[in-house]
Structure 1
Amino acid sequence: MYQTIELKKDDRIATLTLNRPNSMNAMDDVMMKELADAFEELNGDRAIQVLLIKGAGRTFSAGGDIKKMIDPESPMDMGAVMQHITRLAKTLYLLPQITIAAIHGSAAGLGFSLALGCDVLVAEEDSKLAMNFIGIGLVPDGGGHFFLKERIGTTNAKKMIWGGEVIDGKTAKAAGLVDELVPSGHSEEAATQLAHGLLRSPITAMIASKRILHESKRTELEHVLQLESESQVAMRNTTDHLEGIRAFVEKRHPQFTGN
């Protein structure tokens, strides 16, 4: 059914795997659409009470597929892409399941936004996390502004967005960006144990509380997603974005001019 992700359901637990391991699970337009479709499928499945999201291969997700962004033969339609991203972020946040991200390797850019959209983040100590859109002259999308602000507040969110630094799991845990820290190679195991523990809890009440808290933020998230979409389309036309992309491809430091 899906080309770039896998969605498996076992009893009351669903496991969604980002499945482009040869591309470090970078998200192209196909994966973005499929994620949105999968979340909408889960939104209508009340038999599932926990969703675990993980990445195949060496990493969780390297973020948006930059190579696909600059592919002259089949460039991504930014307007359509932002519609997919908006749909996946909003649906993920409002899912009637407890959502767990199991992070290994790296979670960068849109991959980090996806993880932050989950209720619980489990990360390996040596994992690398980055809201690094700024490096190619873009703004966070996938609700990145909203999810960061929810976790660490507006001031710290701005620092992280503007700095674009890569931080390890321990630093992320200390900052409140990660809920559970585990040794290298154990994120999936720990997330699975957590999922089964939730099923032994009064999870229906937990999901009801999630709905109350998240529905109260729905309008704010929708507004942020609209602003992200508008801003991202605009940023794609800037000189700084083009320079950031060229520098990435050429493996050099970008020379930004503020245009």
Structure 2
Amino acid sequence: MFQTIILTKNGRHASLTLNRPESMNAMDDIMMAELADAFESLRDDQEVQLLTIRGAGRTFSAGGDIKKMADPASPMDMTDVMKSITRLSRALYLLPQITIAAVHGSAAGLGFTLALACDIIIAEEDSKLAMNFIGIGLVPDGGGHFYLKERIGAANAKKMIWAGDVLDAKTAKAAGLVDELVPSGQSGQAATHLVSSLLKSPLSAMMATKRILHGSNEAELADILDREAAAQIAMRQTADHTEGIRSFIEKRKPVFEGK
């Protein structure tokens, strides 16, 4: 059914795997659309109560597929891309299921946003997390502003977005961006253990609390997603973004001019 993700269901638990390991699970236009489709398909599932999201191979997700952004042979239409990103973010945040992100390797850019959209984030101690859109002259999308503000407040969100620093998992945990740290190689096992524990919990009550809290924020998320989409399309036309992409491909430090 899907080309770039794997969605499986086992009773009350569903598991979604980002499945482009050869590209460090970087999200291209196909994966973004498939994630949106998958999350929307789970919205009305009356049986599934838990969803675990993980990445295949050596990392959770490197974020947006920068190389494909720069490939003139297969350019990604930014209007369509932003529509998919908006769909996937809104659908994930409003899922009735309790969602768990199991992070290993790295979660960068849109990959980090995807993890932040989940209710519970488990990260391996040697994993790296970064809201690093600024490095290629872009703004966070997929609700990145919203999710950071929810977890660490607007002032700290601005600092993190503008710095674009790569955080180790322990620093991210101390900042409130990760809920549980586990040893290297143990995120999958930890997620399985958590799922087992939650399946013995009053999940209907937990899901009701999620509906109340997330439902009250739905309008704000929608507004931020609209603003992010407009800003991202505009930023894609800037000289700074062109330089950011070029420097990434050439593996050098970018020289930005604020244009």
1:80 aligned partner: 80
User: Which aligned segments of 4 or more residues in structure 1 are displaced greater than 6 angstroms?
Assistant: none
Does residue 177 of structure 1 match 2:143?
no
Alignment of 1:100-179 (within 5 A): 100-179=100-179
1:65 aligned partner: 65
Following superposition, the deviation at residue 205 of structure 1 comes to 0.4
Q: Deviations over 1:41-94 (max 9, x none)?
A: 110101000000000000000000001101111100000000000000000000
SS in 2 for 1:159: helix
Following superposition, the deviation at residue 234 of structure 1 comes to 0.1
Alignment of 1:28-67 (within 5 A): 28-67=28-67
Supply the distance in 2 between the matched residues of 1:258 and 1:102 (Cα, whole angstroms): 36
Counterpart residue type for residue 118 of structure 2: C
Supply the distance in 1 between the matched residues of 2:195 and 2:112 (Cα, whole angstroms): 21
Following superposition, the deviation at residue 195 of structure 1 comes to 1.2
2:22 aligned partner: 22
Does residue 206 of structure 1 match 2:220?
no
Of all paired residues, the percent bearing the same amino acid is 71
Supply the distance in 2 between the matched residues of 1:36 and 1:103 (Cα, whole angstroms): 20
TM-score of the superposed pair, with normalisation by structure 1: 1.00
Supply the distance in 1 between the matched residues of 2:37 and 2:193 (Cα, whole angstroms): 27
Q: Deviations over 1:79-131 (max 9, x none)?
A: 00000000000000000100000000000000000000000000000000000
Q: How many residues align?
A: 259
SS in 1 for 2:41: helix
CA contact (8 A) 1:46 1:96 kept: no
Which ranges of structure 1 fall in alignment gaps of 5 or more residues?
Answer: none
SS in 2 for 1:146: helix
Following superposition, the deviation at residue 3 of structure 1 comes to 0.2
TM-score of the superposed pair, with normalisation by structure 2: 1.00
Across the aligned residues of Structure 1 and Structure 2, the Cα RMSD in angstroms comes to: 0.4
Counterpart residue type for residue 72 of structure 1: P
